[in-house]
Amino acid sequence: MKTKPVCDPRSAFFDSVADKWDSWHDLPDLALNLDACLAQFGMQEKEVVLDVGCGTGNLTMALLRRMGLSGRIIAIDISKQMLEQARKKVGDTRVTWHQASAGKIPVGAEKIDRVLCFSVWPHLEDPNAVSKEFYRVLRPGGFLHIWHLLPRDKVNRIHQEADPSVHHDRLAPVGETASLLKKNRFSMISMADDKTRYSITARKEELSS
């Protein structure tokens, strides 16, 4: 499926750092932390998963380690260069890549079992519209996970000190994000906003019988 390229200051910034991105991270430690998070989520091998803001594919690789041959990942990012890095690194036919924004996901309604937003939520232009879009693509009973492996104040400080295109990409208090998701018909499963992490797990309710 072809998608329209997304051009804005954020995508230009992430394009400019894509070839350096992995060198700024301890990838073995990141892999261990992502594996631990995914183990808590209770993923099934056959799920269809949406990786939002997939970047250079580090979460995508962690997801593949937990999936069976019939599992599928739809990975989206606004940055063409980040996607190119991810494609070169991952190289697995269970992944479909799209240059697309979270506000306009190239997926039909109720096709996704689980939406994963790792270290991307503050960069989303319109969280309210994005929440509605997540609800649209999730199957009844599907899950939404939003999380960072850093405390909220550190995430916000990093953005304030980074490129001007992300200066105002603020990670809201977890209660504020939860209220937004509830307004868009999600049910909260768990929340954390402390000195070590930020996380929300929400669910699109099953259809009434």
Ordered structural domains, the chain, with CATH: 9-14+46-204 (3.40.50.150)
Q: Strand 95-99: give its sheet, edge to edge.
A: 95-99, 72-77, 48-52, 112-118, 138-148, 198-204, 186-193
9 phi and psi angles, rounded to 5 deg: -60, -35
Using DSSP's 3-state secondary structure scheme, residue 45 falls into coil
Can you give the pLDDT of all 209 residues of the chain as single tens digits?
Answer: 444 444 588 899 999 999 999 999 999 999 999 999 999 999 999 999 999 999 999 999 999 999 999 999 999 999 999 999 999 999 999 999 999 999 999 999 999 999 999 999 999 999 999 999 999 999 999 999 999 999 999 999 999 998 988 989 999 999 999 999 999 999 999 999 999 999 999 999 987 65
Burial class of residue 70 in the structure, from the number of CB atoms within 10 Å of its CB (0-12 exposed, 13-18 middle, 19+ buried): exposed
93 phi and psi angles, rounded to 5 deg: -70, -10
CA distance 58 to 61: 5
User: Looking at the DSSP assignment, which residues form a beta bridge with residue 75?
Assistant: 51, 97
